[in-house]
Structure 1
């Protein structure tokens, strides 16, 4: 029997402290593609939709992929954008009968009108199709999972790696479970455990032994009878919502005797381990001044010094235009350094009014919210490269996918080359530099705006990696962000709380 499956992706990680709204234009600047176009662009890479297609081929489904909509992490999603994309999915679900639905979601999408974007989407979908059709969902490791989400969908599979390199595997896993559910071989249900924390202490880093052990345990439990998927969601501290915090989900087979009770035991045991480890942070955060001094003294042996500007990570919805680290590198007269990216559409446009080789004076960075990470820098330098910003990634995360930074320039100021971009992306792939004439392995210092994803592509070429807190919007000092909706007490805002 050939099953008819509807699939879609609707992915956004919303930083509620960021000014503005994420609009349809922001989705279009990243990924806003109808079925066949989405499959052509994303179906060959390390994506959930590629995993869905793998499952469809393996199990012989007729799969209708409706839409892939991804916007880069940013401000809350505008109502009109949410309604438009959600309607595409709902209308397709109503248009014909389906045996199952497969959704690639993030889990931390916050529209401007609700704390729970994924719960809202699932509620609308259930209102359209009823309760009998199984729904399988993939989630980012940084999901905030609400009770409503678990009630409305049957199967959940989250990534198990950070840096995220298993998106396709997650899609395949969700597809296998959906096929079994459609065939009546399993009766999937999901249970949830939650702890009152902004996020898991190491944000789900799977290169940290303490946190990696949690994900190893999750994978081991999936071999138990009746346990179909174990997902550990580290949470997203940059979203001020009533559903903040890490969660553990276990999707189990209701038809297997004892599986429900065992699923509950697993969720609570792993959640307890997350809570007990809440004060064991792996990162040591340098000031920008100390990072610059280290950069000044660095003598390459096997590669560059990498300074991760953790706080200005566009991948957490930060503006990506904080200037504190750049200013410190320039003040210390650091040579042969790269800052990437500096997201400043105004500066990129001004540089594109000139030509390669011109010397230009202009204000760079710090224009979105100077109170987080510093104001604009008045700099004079030379234009080394001008580009439309298109590149094809070749690292473990992007793996052949095409992306675009918009009008882009490389601007040399003293000993520092600044990659000035229009669109928002974190430093995630070496081709974000190589395409624009910067060979990362040959440089002394790489100052990369990223928390963790940079490690997948850049850590293998590094002499040393350090992490810096530039005071930008994604600062690890959570008390600098004005939480209002977070349910108190919550760790670490209330550091002495106990359960």
Structure 2
């Protein structure tokens, strides 16, 4: 059996002012199979597929593997160039028996609201109707009719934070290879829940729901079960939570399972929906929190959702309220990082920090700071334990305030306490740690936290799901309306 693999990933916040162009993909690397793949977050599933395939005597051909940090829509020429390179490999290096893809599911480009559906459909035209095509998706995906029609299997992460990427890759491999061999015949049951939101799988209600999906997969004839959460800040028609159930040739059973799970998820809506705190509300809660480190998630400035990562709202309130014993990061400011490296460790200077990317970033802050630590390449584990780079970085202390900030030259959310500790900052001696992230920080910070609180705005990522100013996505969704007509 011959298998083609490829990875083309970014999550698009259509409200973000930052275009996603060549530099965004090149920052994380554009790898090509003919040149050999090096291990990393994006290539890990592809290398796993190769390992599994070779153990069974199959041949693997790798095409493009690339990722861009979430931001605004991808530049049309960039998307088309990367897509067409994958299509050329499919046409010129075929024939193939199977195609395995690592996609996000919420990628939007200029002129393309559904990049994944476009890519899968064009691949289907090239490889033909008998070739098994499967895609692993981030659970914050928009499942479109084109995606469901073009692929034999769509399997999304079950966990948020996304700690199960390789588990889902292994599952996809087995089912796609078995489909290509004629051993199973996947049919899809798809249910639209009519909901727009974010759902943390570590909470009790979501944990039970995810465990229920896994339990259903152990029933005879059920091949795979996914909940596509959707990505709230993607203004596309298919933005909605959806349940996907694949059975082996039993379409009525697949549809019935999907409807039942969809109804179960709908019944949980008030318990699982994200509700954050205002900045002052969160800071007020610090006083009543148990002794130890209180972690505040600055969700509205999460680069993993397409925000710039340079907002100053929370930092400004910490200063205005005189709340020392605090750290904040990572804050994206390449200019300030450069000045700190020039000054060197121990240097003291007046520094303008943050508030540079757009109006949602707030006002820049003019601070007297001392450089406490520097790194030419700050590297930390991500939610999947793969190492990510924040580029050049600086730990600064605001003079007279006992507030510490980690500045970075590469846009990245805070996955791990190592974003602070790698520069020498002992966060265990502090009361407050503000992390620019939505939920991917949770697994690493929970063991060292007395309490974790989520702040909802202000910033580039709107926390009120009912108020997102959609133009292409219908307003018929919960929580904007209590009973959507679409469900």
Give the TM interval when normalised to the shorter protein. over 0.9
Residues 19-67 of structure 1 deviation map (CA, whole Å, 9 limit, x = unaligned)? 0310121011123222277742228x99433442343244332212222
Number of the residue aligned with 1:379: 367
Distance 1:128 1:250 in 2: 27
Q: Distance in 1 between matches of 2:361 and 2:483?
A: 29
Q: For residue 165 of structure 1, give the secondary structure of its aligned residue in structure 2.
A: coil
Corresponding residue for 1:90?
87
Matches within 5 A, 1:227-242: 227-242=222-237
Give SS of 2:342's match: coil
Alignment of 1:219-258 (within 5 A): 219-254=214-249
Equivalence for 1:141: 139
Change (3 A) 1:206 1:427: same
Q: Does 1:289 align with 2:302?
A: no
Secondary structure of the structure 2 residue equivalent to 1:286 = coil
- Do the aligned residues in 2 keep the contact of 1:227 with 1:251 (CA within 8 Å)? yes
For structure 1, list consecutive stretches of 5 or more residues without a partner in the other structure.
none
**Residue pair 1:389, 1:421 contacting (<8 A) in 2 also:** no
CA distance in 2, matches of 1:479, 1:365: 29
Counterpart position of 1:466: 453
Output the CA distance in 1 between the equivalents of 2:48 and 2:153. Answer: 15
Secondary structure, in 3 states, of the residue corresponding to 1:41? coil
CA contact under 8 A between 1:11 and 1:109: conserved in structure 2?
yes
Contact conserved, 1:38 with 1:67, CA < 8 A, in 2?
no
Contact 1:107–1:140 (CA under 8 A) maintained in structure 2 = yes
The alignment partner of 1:243 has SS state of: coil
**Where does residue 317 of structure 1 map in the other structure?**
306
The equivalent of 1:406 in structure 2 is 391
Three-state SS of the structure 2 residue aligned to 1:186 is: coil
| Aligned residue in 1 for 2:72 | 75
Q: Map residues 405-484 of structure 1 onto 2, 5 A cutoff.
A: 405-413=390-398, 414-484=401-471
> 1 CA distance for matches of 2:36 and 2:351?
39
Per the TM alignment, residue 126 of structure 1 is displaced from its structure 2 partner at its CA by: 1.5
Structural mapping, 1:116-127, within 5 Å: 116-127=114-125
In the superposition, the TM-score normalised over structure 1's length comes to 0.91
Q: What does the per-residue CA deviation read over 1:430-452, in whole Å, with 9 as the maximum and x for residues that have no partner?
A: 33222222244443221001111
CA deviations over 1:347-405 (Å, ceiling 9, x no partner):
223333322222122221122223x3522112111111222234152x6x242x33221
Q: Is the 2:290–2:451 Cα contact (8 Å) retained in structure 1?
A: no
The offset of 1:480, in angstroms, is 4.8
Match of 2:181 in 1: 183
Name the CA shift for 1:31/1:190 in 2 (closer, same or farther; >3 Å): farther
Over 3 Å counting, the alpha-carbon distance change for 1:273 and 1:54 in structure 2 is: farther
CA change 1:291–1:272 in 2 (3 A) is same
1 CA distance for matches of 2:274 and 2:236? 25
CA distance in 1, matches of 2:99, 2:325: 51
Match of 1:102 in 2: 100
Q: CA deviation at 1:74?
A: 1.0
Deviation at 1:329, TM superposition (A): 1.2
SS in 2 for 1:353: helix
Contact 1:78 1:111 in 2 (8 A): yes
Q: Secondary structure at the match of 1:237?
A: coil
| Count of matched residue pairs | 483
Aligned mates of 2:79, 2:3 — CA distance in 1:
23
- C-alpha distance in 1 between matches for 2:327 and 2:344: 20
Partner Cα separation in structure 1 for residue 268 and residue 403 of structure 2: 39
Deviation of 1:280 (Å)? 2.6
For residues 194 and 345 of structure 2, the distance between their equivalents in structure 1, rounded to whole angstroms, comes to 52
TM-score, reference length from structure 2: 0.93
Alpha carbons 2:100, 2:135 under 8 Å: kept: yes
Question: Paired residue for 1:265?
Answer: 256
In the other structure, the counterpart of 2:318 is 329
Alignment partner, residue 358 of structure 1? 347
The 1-side partners of 2:280 and 2:316 are apart by 9
Q: Aligned equivalents of 1:490 and 1:294: distance in 2?
A: 32
